[in-house]
Amino acid sequence: MAGPVPELEDRAAACAERLHEADRVLLASHIDADGLTSAAVASSALERASVPFEVVFEKQLDEDAIARIARTDYETVWFTDFGSGQLDVITDYAADGGFTPVIADHHQPADADTEFHCNPLLEGLDGASELSGAGTTYLLARELAGDCVVRSPKGENHDEASGERRERESGPNPPTDPTMTDGGTVATTARADNRDLAALAVVGAVGDMQASSGELHGANAEIVADGVEAGVLEPTTDLALYGTQTRPLPKLLEYATDVRIPGISNDQRGAMRFLDGLDLELRDDAGEWRRWGDLTTAEQQTVASALVKHAISRGVPASKIDGLVGTSYQLTAEPAGTELRDASEFSTLLNATARYDRADVGLAVCLGDRGGALERARELLRSHRRNLSEGIDLVTTEGVTNEGHVQWFHAGDRIRETIVGIVAGMALGNEGIDRDRPILAFAAKSDEPDAVKVSGRGTHALVRQGLDLSVVLGEAARHVGGDGGGHDVAAGATVPAGREPDFLKRADDLVGEQLGQ
Ligand code: C5P
Ligand code: C5P
Ligand code: C5P
Ligand code: ZN
């Protein structure tokens, strides 16, 4: 079957064929929005292909995690959104423990290879901006559906096996038919070839910030096209602000800090004054502010052009103003006005579950649970938002230390290690935290007192000048006996506690070399 990304078709087909031959599969995925959507795409594809499976999530695929996986009696392990970076360790354990790894990932591969390995970086595509873990997994899902046509329908033992095991490993049991949405809007053919799963793949890509240049491109755009054809996705030109579906208009504008607009950003009264000054009915009958997603296209255009005019009049440079508008991806089968409707809000909802040890909740939401799991996810989102905003306040008030080529802060145990990278990325550009150099953020690891987590975040402009944080964090961490990796623009590492100064020195030198300074 012709897949949407020809460069990866052979690899995806080989992986899918191997998965189809398996009696049962252990699916191991990463705990963030991209990892969760990867797991959901993979689960749906396996379920539809009648391959029994069990899901496990790992915060980081380190040697301990790989050893745990090897100790299970699974002969086939499907790694999604991680695996490439640890390929050397995986292949060692696989040989010893007698399992076959199948890898769908987009992180920088380690120096080793394996037979069933799908990764955009192996075929010259960019793993940070052109294809995510969920997108790579989606390519396998498309191929699995291709095989599926010649397979018999669901067998009985299959439901027993997957149902029981999933309950044991990942808490509440997701619905047994993991079709993401129903409502009769998704064409049966789209489901038969798994194209309806493109919506989740796009949520993963957006969650990995792959749309941060304004829209998805490269292989991601091909997946968007699949989703549009399948009737599950609709790209729309929108304000490039977070919360177009769920935030009341003044809050939407007030919290818009990626492009700072004087008199509106971080200024609730200013935002309201601006909106009240427009010749539009922006409050409903009860006097409550409407939301962007509720406005008509004409109303949206009026607000957007007034906003641009306001920004110009306050001296915001044209290059920044372009960043006010971008493409947003609507999941058309989801109800308007909910977090699930907009790919960006959906991905944040998922991070709010996975990064707090509740990946089971996020997975259930991806798989169609619109009851208890969605309610629980919304509660988690409220506390995630509080944590992000407290974290950003902490960094902004206490400031960062400038090391020459990098800037850094150490949060100790005041910011959770699983969100310290998100906080660092969101704080970049705030007062005193320049976007002209990358930021490194340290946080204590709750389960490992003698280790420290580091997250690095840069900008696409710095990447264009030569920055590659996956190299920086990897090399600097190994220099002090730790390990790390990730993407050019966002990477992470674990280092021994107390070695932060040596790590910083090495990282600073490396960034200096990369940027030619
Ligand atoms: O969690 P992740 O790093 O993928 O966040 C994606 C982006 O969503 C953030 O960088 C930020 O711009 C936005 N966001 C936000 N408010 C939140 C959560 C996320 O503006 N409460
Ligand atoms: O492991 P993974 O690739 O899924 O982690 C991606 C994380 O990196 C996202 O949660 C996001 O916060 C961050 N990121 C970023 N800017 C990018 C790409 C990723 O901050 N351009
Ligand atoms: O944890 P954080 O959000 O900072 O991770 C950013 C990126 O770095 C992710 O893609 C993650 O998978 C990667 N990472 C890694 N090795 C680590 C920590 C993070 O490859 N030890
Ligand atoms: Zn990812």
**What is the SS3 assignment for 431?**
coil
pLDDT value at position 324?
A: 85
Q: What is the mean pLDDT of residues 253-270?
A: 82
Distance (angstroms) between ligand 2 centre and the Cα of 14 equals 28
Residue 135: is its pLDDT beyond 70? yes
DSSP 248: B
Domains and CATH numbers, the chain: 6-177+188-203 (3.90.1640.30), 239-385 (no CATH), 399-515 (3.10.310.40)
484 in contact with ligand 3, CB cutoff 6 A: yes
| Structural element, H or E, at residue 443 | strand 439-444
Residue 157: is its pLDDT beyond 70? no
Distance (angstroms) between ligand 3 centre and the Cα of 62 equals 11
65 in contact with ligand 3, CB cutoff 6 A: no
pLDDT value at position 9?
A: 97
pLDDT value at position 178?
A: 38
Reported pTM = 0.82
| Structural element, H or E, at residue 189 | helix 188-192
Residue 464: is its pLDDT beyond 60? yes
Q: Considering only 40-49, 407-416, 459-468, which range has the smallest mean pLDDT?
A: 459-468
Residue 235: is its pLDDT beyond 80? yes
ipTM surpassing 0.85: no
Distance (angstroms) between ligand 3 centre and the Cα of 376 equals 26
Distance (angstroms) between ligand 1 centre and the Cα of 453 equals 20
- Alpha helices in 237-296, H assignment, sequence order: 249-254, 268-276
pLDDT value at position 238?
A: 85
pLDDT value at position 1?
A: 52
Q: Is residue 5 a contact partner of residue 131, using CB atoms and an 8 Å limit?
A: yes
Q: What is the mean pLDDT of residues 247-266?
A: 83
Q: Is residue 423 a contact partner of residue 441, using CB atoms and an 8 Å limit?
A: yes
Residue 239: is its pLDDT beyond 90? no
Q: Which is nearest to 307 in space by CA: 345, 363, 254?
A: 254
DSSP string, 191-204: HHTTGGGHHHHHHH
Higher-confidence position of 455 and 150: 455
Q: Which residues contact 1 (CB under 8 A, 6 or more apart)?
A: 142, 143, 145, 146, 193
Phi, psi (deg, nearest 5) at residue 295: -75, 155
Residue 497: is its pLDDT beyond 90? yes
Q: In the chain, what percentage of residues exceed pLDDT 90?
A: 71
Residue 184: is its pLDDT beyond 50? no
Q: Which is nearest to 209 in space by CA: 507, 488, 494?
A: 488
Residue 337: is its pLDDT beyond 80? yes
Q: What is the mean pLDDT of residues 318-331?
A: 87
If pLDDT is split at 50, 70 and 90, which confidence band does 258 have? low
Q: Considering only 143-152, 211-220, 391-400, 502-511, which range has the smallest mean pLDDT?
A: 143-152
Residue 108: is its pLDDT beyond 60? yes
421 in contact with ligand 2, CB cutoff 6 A: yes
pLDDT value at position 91?
A: 96
Quick: pLDDT tens for 275-311.
Answer: 999 999 999 999 899 999 889 989 999 999 999 999 9
DSSP bridge partners of 442: 410, 454
DSSP 3-state helix, strand, coil percentages of the chain (rounded to 5)? 45, 15, 40
Mean pLDDT of all residues belonging to the chain: 89
Mutate to test the pocket of ligand 1, among 350, 355, 426, 435 (most ligand atoms within 8 A of CB): 426
| CB-defined site of ligand 1, < 6 Å | 33, 207, 209, 242, 347-348, 351, 385, 388, 422, 425-426
Quick: pLDDT tens for 4-49.
Answer: 999 999 999 999 999 999 999 999 999 989 999 999 999 999 999 9
Q: How far apart are CA 420 and CA 33, in angstroms?
A: 15
- Ligand in nearest proximity to the CA of 209: 2
If pLDDT is split at 50, 70 and 90, which confidence band does 266 have? confident
Q: What is the mean pLDDT of residues 399-408?
A: 96
pLDDT value at position 181?
A: 40
Distance (angstroms) between ligand 2 centre and the Cα of 133 equals 11
pLDDT value at position 242?
A: 79
Distance (angstroms) between ligand 3 centre and the Cα of 125 equals 20
Atom of ligand 2 nearest to the CA of 487: 3
Q: What is the mean pLDDT of residues 329-351?
A: 94
- How many residues does this entry show for the chain? 517
If pLDDT is split at 50, 70 and 90, which confidence band does 147 have? low
pLDDT value at position 188?
A: 66
Q: In the chain, what percentage of residues exceed pLDDT 70?
A: 91
Phi, psi (deg, nearest 5) at residue 125: -95, 155
- Ligand in nearest proximity to the CA of 134: 4
Residue 177: is its pLDDT beyond 50? no
212 in contact with ligand 2, CB cutoff 6 A: yes
Q: How far apart are CA 263 and CA 269, in angstroms?
A: 9
Quick: pLDDT tens for 351-388.
Answer: 999 999 999 999 999 999 999 999 999 999 999 989 99
Quick: pLDDT tens for 423-441.
Answer: 998 888 777 898 899 999 9
Q: What is the mean pLDDT of residues 156-179?
A: 36
If pLDDT is split at 50, 70 and 90, which confidence band does 132 have? very high
Q: How far apart are CA 432 and CA 167, in angstroms?
A: 48
pLDDT value at position 486?
A: 86
DSSP 416: -
pLDDT value at position 257?
A: 60
